[in-house]
Amino acid sequence: MLTLILFLAVLSLLVLVHEFGHFFAARIFGVKAEEFGYGFPPRLIGLVKHNGKWKRVKANDEASYQNTIWSLNWLPLGGFVRIKGEGVEDKMTDSDAFPTKPAWQRVIILAAGVAMNWLLAYVLFFGVLVSGVPTVIEDLPQSATVQDKSVRITNVLPGMPAEKSGIKAGDQVLSINGVTAVDYDQTRNEILKSNENPVQIRIKNQDGEKTLTVQPEMVKELGRYGIGVSLADVGVVKFGFFSAMYQAGVAVVGYTWQTVSAFGGMIRDLVLLRHLEQEVSGPVGIAVLTGQMAKQGIVTLMQFAAILSINLAVINFLPIPALDGGRILFVVIEKIRRKAVTRKLEAHIHQVAFIALIILILLVTIRDLGKYGGSILGGLKHLVGI
């Protein structure tokens, strides 16, 4: 239940911030925002400021209001903003309608959503860097301060002795054969000194401390015995206020580039290999990951939300119909042709693309259920006391 609540909270934050960007830009340029809603219809309640007072909206008279309707809807999956003139049947002649505005203003209104997602990511990264974030201590800026240094397991090779012994990625190494783990080099050397002899590893994780015995195996590729783990020096890295402002910008740019590169790789795989080499998660997978990040603390959850916000920005900016980038593409085409595509044709194209996106999300969700179904079922059983 907590995982579901956190997932809905993170999703709502990302979507509402995105929609507020459209709303804010529309109001700047004098475009009426007919409704700003949390969740999706059917509507639970709608309020509007009319003649200086807030009143509840009735379905048969909402068109008469000049101000924005603020609504709470039954499906708590983000939110939406309804801008005047976006519908196929909406009038295009009113001065406060979206289609009557110059192309550059329409582009800004359409792009404001992704801009807000990038801004949200920046704010979240800033909070993370000021608060302190666990990270690998490597090539850090001079302005960084490091606390709570430790040696961590960063990767466990499948089928190797470490995995068989119960060691997991993220475990903190306290000692090797009774010798306190100081840093990466010293810990690695202590493991190598054991050669083919059993290694006593004392670890610490969310379940507490325990000592495990690991029997090394010969690794032919390396020509020596090993247990199958990757190690790293990890610490809580913090930055001062002004340093964090700069480093947050660096993080946003870096993660944006990584996201764009990942999508480029996905497109390449689909075109050349006819399948995806990379992992793709849908709503179910993201919900599970949100729960996992939350268990590591609020700072880790903030960092995860920032990365999701960047992903949402990049995806929405792609020139695909039904997305913000696709709508911007139609504005660009209008300027090139000096004539707008008919509204009905554009609407049909967006509808077809939207249906295709929904089908894709459903396919990914089905795969996620196959991957995470066991943990989800276990959580439901725990919830109902089975």
- β-pair type (33-50, 53-56): antiparallel
Whole-number Å distance between alpha carbons of 223 and 165: 22
User: DSSP 3-state assignment of 176?
Assistant: strand
Whole-number Å distance between alpha carbons of 284 and 54: 38
Q: Could you report how far apart the first and last alpha carbons of the chain are, in Å?
A: 15
Contact 275, 269 (CB under 8 A): yes
Q: Which of 88, 86, 82 is nearest to 101 (CA)?
A: 86
AA letter at 26: A
Q: Which of 106, 79, 72 is nearest to 20 (CA)?
A: 79
- Residue 90, Cβ neighbours under 10 Å: how many? 15
Residues catalogued as catalytic: 19
**C-alpha radius of gyration, the chain, whole number:** 26
Q: Which residues pair with 50 in a beta bridge?
A: 53
User: Angle at the Cα of 269 (from 264 to 270), degrees rounded to 5?
Assistant: 100
Spatial CB neighbours of 14, under 8 Å, sequence gap ≥ 6:
78, 117, 120, 305, 308, 309, 312
Q: Which of 39, 42, 37 is nearest to 9 (CA)?
A: 39
Q: Which of 176, 122, 173, 124 is nearest to 151 (CA)?
A: 173
In which element (H, E) is residue 145 found?
strand 145-156
Whole-number Å distance between alpha carbons of 305 and 364: 20
Whole-number Å distance between alpha carbons of 369 and 374: 8
- β-pair type (53-56, 133-136): unpaired
Helices (H), 54-167: 103-131, 161-165
